[in-house]
Amino acid sequence: MKLRKVSAASATVFALALTATACGGDNSTGGDSGSGGGKTITVGIKFDQPGLGQKTPQGYAGFDVDVATYVAKKLGYNADQIEWKEAKSADRETMLQRGDVDFIAATYSITPERQEKVDFAGPYLLAHQDVLVRSDDNKIKSPKDLNNAKLCSVTGSTSAQNVKDKLAPKAQLQPYPTYSACLPGLQNGAVDALTTDDSILAGYAAQSQFKGKFKLGGFKLTNENYGIGVKKGSDLKADINKALEAMVADGAWQKAVDKNLGPADYKNEPAPKIGDIKS
């Protein structure tokens, strides 16, 4: 009799353990399955790029945020199931390799060097290095007009130096800590132009306090193929590519471009085809 009681108790413990194990599965992210079976999915974005990826008092906003939210929904996650993490440029490959995030949408240009470390879905936007000037500027009409111009140079960025080295050797580089810091200088004439990706420039120029004060040069100095980064070998790549194709097909992609970058009169390229990387 005593033996039977012990066996019954053991069976009860075993059943409870099985139940606890089954319930515990809900605490993980979707991982590489893309099934949306977990409670959350972790996505890396920029927190400081207006129009693309920005953390605001109201939440997260920008084109990359809209793309990531759409993709996550196609993977089976609602907006409130997304955990946003800041993905600084220098940290992106490490975050993916360590599994800190499931994917990254953060003005992440696809390059051969990066493809050795991570995989990319997309591209989902073709941007170009360009310049931002004051809206009433009539002197800077081509890259050569940047000779003798005061060009904002941001610490850690190579965009301005590339212009000086390859296009306008007489450009006067003016050092600033961030792109945001360049804008008041551009507005008051301390600098004549700011250069980086046209999508990033459009995002800054689209801010309400700067609306109508700046314009893009439209120079298309480089091709920047923005992709969504995933861990090397991740099954998510194929699922994200399908989601991006759906976003273009149903018009949500263009709506996101117009909403976030349109106020700066951004002339976007057509949505790129998956795998079509412009050199």
Collapse the DSSP code of 120 into the 3-class scheme (helix H, G, I; strand E, B; otherwise coil) and give the result: strand
pLDDT tens digits along 244-275: 999 999 999 999 999 999 888 899 999 999 99
Q: Output the pLDDT for position 223.
A: 95
CATH number of 129-216: 3.40.190.10
| pLDDT value for 35 | 47
Using 70 as the pLDDT threshold, list the residues of the chain that sit under it.
Answer: 1-38
The dihedrals phi and psi of 26, each to the nearest 5 degrees, come to -75, -10
CATH code of 41-127+224-264, in short, is 3.40.190.10
Helices (H) and strands (E) in the chain, counts: 9, 13
- Residue 38: the pLDDT is 58
Q: Determine the pLDDT at residue 158.
A: 87
User: What is residue 157's three-state secondary structure?
Assistant: coil
Task: Compute, in degrees rounded to 10, the torsion defined by CA atoms 41, 90, 131, 56.
Answer: 40
pTM for the full predicted model: 0.82
HEC string for 193-227: EEEEEHHHHHHHHCCHHHCCCEEECCCCCCCEEEE
What residue ranges of the chain are covered by domains with CATH 3.40.190.10?
A: 41-127+224-264, 129-216
